[in-house]
Structure 1
Amino acid sequence: MPLPTPGSEQGAAALDRIVQRPADAVLSFDFDGTLAPIVSDPADARAYPGVTAELSRLAPLVGRLVIITGRPAAVAVEYGGLADVDGVLVLGHYGLERWEDGRVTAPEPPAGVALVREELPELLRKTGAHEGTAIEDKGRSLAVHTRRAADPDAALETLRIPLAALAQRAGLTVEPGRRVIELRPAGMDKGAALAGVAADAGDGAAVLYAGDDLGDLAAFEAVERLREKGLPGITVCSGSDEVAELAARADLVVDGPPGIADLLAALREAIEDR
């Protein structure tokens, strides 16, 4: 299976560097919408067929394999079958949680999370949230999903201002996404998480980051900053018809999680055949 061709010279150079020097590579991926298809109920999300097997094959070939997700780290491990991927690092809650070798480490959530947990149901009632709107309690953050509403985008728009006000009062930050608004602790994002992993990998590391949603823009920006310092980096968009901003910024756009699965297989074959 041939490797796809990135649309930028920098992306092409980084992909070639990863193939030629995989032991120096950091491969990092979002979970929902990238390794796993977006589904109506977040609890039903699972890795796309073949993805976990390809991650397992890639893991011993590369320097670092990382999953950076807004989910709790242990949930991403369970839903992705990642416990059997040797050496994988899973950074949950945008990097606040760290899962490695079967253990999760994380700071205590701020008091504002409990305040949101207490007040969110009544806020949805008072604002006339559309039928199908659902709360996802992630433990260290809470998300409001509208994907199951009759008009998901209108349902989300109804809630933007009230949720922003609640987040401000609770001292949390608002994380918009694909028919979801999350209220979460400030001070960490996927870009900062990726930059930390890249720094640990050393100056010779080439970095790949793949994502699908607005929360992944911070990681794309981290890759761009690394390139400004002379380090190879490539951004990959797991494309959809719901988010255009990420595709416009990406070096390479693939067709959702099936395209990511194909990219993993092609990258692994290219490394093995070099």
Structure 2
Amino acid sequence: MRFTSEDAEKRYDALVRVAARTVVGLDFDGTLSPIVDDPARAHIHPDAPEVLMALAEEVAAIAVITGRPARQALDLGGLEEVGDALDAAGKELFVFGQYGNERWTSSHRRIMGARPPRGLATFERDLPRALRSAGASDAYVEDKGLAVAVHTRRLADPEGAFDRLLPPLRELADRHGLVLEPGKAVIEVRSAGSHKGMVVNRLAAVLDAEGFLFAGDDLGDVEAFEAVEELGDRGLAVLRVCSASSEESALIALSDVVVHGPVGVLELLGRLAADARALREG
């Protein structure tokens, strides 16, 4: 774990002092779950449930905010069981899927979602031609219901295929009124209706938060980092945590703390829980 500045260490200490009124927001892939070639095998780190349950005793709420469908995150993360434990402790677990277009909570247990965006069906119709023109016909296409993700990780030249695909998919998304979200060897196309920053602001307002920590690893988390910084400008105690890897470094310059992958994220969350508990117990 590395603080990026002396000010970042002070931010952490301030967050500990208001832990009981703090919301912890977490990305899924690359933050709670290691990045893998097959998205369907991206299971949560085995230590995560225990760490999250200990953390829940010290903070106001925990939210998993992901580009995945909410049902996928719940199943791959075993998050319904985590929600059971948090609910029993009088705390809430939120799962926001598809960048906030889907919502599940441990108190209501029903996924609330939006309709597929206009233009997505015609985008999918035109997608094979775009893949062929970029020499990436074998890219794995994941239909998320409210979005489409094109994965290049399994191809012989993942980076080259990603670079070739980005311009034509961006043009195709624009033509159909959709937005493009690049990630680690994946290009996601979805509606412009929501992003992680909007979820951060919504949670902070609804829960009357005094602190907010967000941990992410990818370009899709930039809006969340920006929203957290804006909350800090409004007087909240905030901390932005980058789950760093060799594949993506865009978040490092925006971060207060840099850790190495899900293991590092869990170590930081465990430290936050321990420091908050020590302060609470005097």
TM-score, length basis structure 2: 0.90
Match of 1:103 in 2: 110
1:245-267 residue CA offsets vs partner (Å, 9 max, x unmatched)? 11121100001111012112222
Matched to 2:125, the amino acid is E
How far off its partner does 1:271 sit? 2.0
Match of 2:120 in 1: 113
Give the fraction of aligned pairs with identical amino acids, expressed as a percent: 45
How far off its partner does 1:5 sit? 6.0
Alpha-carbon RMSD across the aligned residues, in angstroms, is: 1.6
Is 2:24 the partner of 1:37? no
Contact 1:223–1:233 (CA under 8 A) maintained in structure 2? yes
- Which of 208, 215, 218 aligns to 1:210? It is 215
Counterparts of residues 159-238 of structure 1 (less than 5 Å): 159-202=165-208, 205-238=210-243
SS in 2 for 1:103: coil
Q: Which 10-residue stretch deviates more, 238-247 or 30-39?
A: 238-247
Q: Number of aligned residue pairs: give it.
A: 269
Match of 2:263 in 1: 258
Is 2:273 the partner of 1:273? no
How far off its partner does 1:176 sit? 0.6
Q: Which 10-residue stretch deviates more, 23-32 or 193-202?
A: 193-202
1:29-50 residue CA offsets vs partner (Å, 9 max, x unmatched)? 1000000000001111011120
Structure 2: gaps of 5 or more residues = 87-91
1:130-161 residue CA offsets vs partner (Å, 9 max, x unmatched)? 64x21111110001111111111100111112
Label 1:24 to 1:14 Cα distance change in 2 as closer, same or farther (>3 A): farther
How far off its partner does 1:17 sit? 3.0
Structure 1: gaps of 5 or more residues = none
2: CA distance, partners of 1:63 / 1:179: 34
1:54-106 residue CA offsets vs partner (Å, 9 max, x unmatched)? 11221232111111100011111111111122221011111111111321112
TM-score, length basis structure 1: 0.93
